[in-house]
Amino acid sequence: GENVEQHPSTLSVQEGDSAVIKCTYSDSASNYFPWYKQELGKGPQLIIDIRSNVGEKKDQRIAVTLNKTAKHFSLHITETQPEDSAVYFCAARKGGSEKLVFGKGTKLTVNP
């Protein structure tokens, strides 16, 4: 089955710096890669996603890149703000499957 590895598990940055979280997946048939943000005491919320026919996607300060050959994808947050502090999860969905496999999460702390 699909396996998703996520690094780092914790990340601390200064406000205004950039943050990068990386994930690798095992199944080359995976074709959908979402990123979720979970704030304390809440359910995860989608912040950006990318499909396998696209190499990069951007939404304001957030971008995701996908390298299908290497089977890894990354979340980039620029100009970080304290409200970006949360746990971030990557996930992968195998084509033809309705399972979604999540990474173990990254706790991002943005220090003012």
Partner 1 sequence: EAQVTQNPRYLITVTGKKLTVTCSQNMNHEYMSWYRQDPGLGLRQIYYSMNVEVTDKGDVPEGYKVSRKEKRNFPLILESPSPNQTSLYFCASSFKGAGYEQYFGPGTRLTVT
Contact positions vs partner 1 (CB under 8 A):
1, 6, 31-32, 34, 36, 42-46, 49, 51, 89, 91, 93, 97-105
CA dist 65 and 76 (Å) reads 8
**CB of residue 14 to partner 1, shortest distance in Å:** 26
Q: Any residues with CB less than 8 A from the CB of 46 and at least 6 apart, and which?
A: 34, 35, 36
**CB of residue 15 to partner 1, shortest distance in Å:** 27
**CB of residue 112 to partner 1, shortest distance in Å:** 27
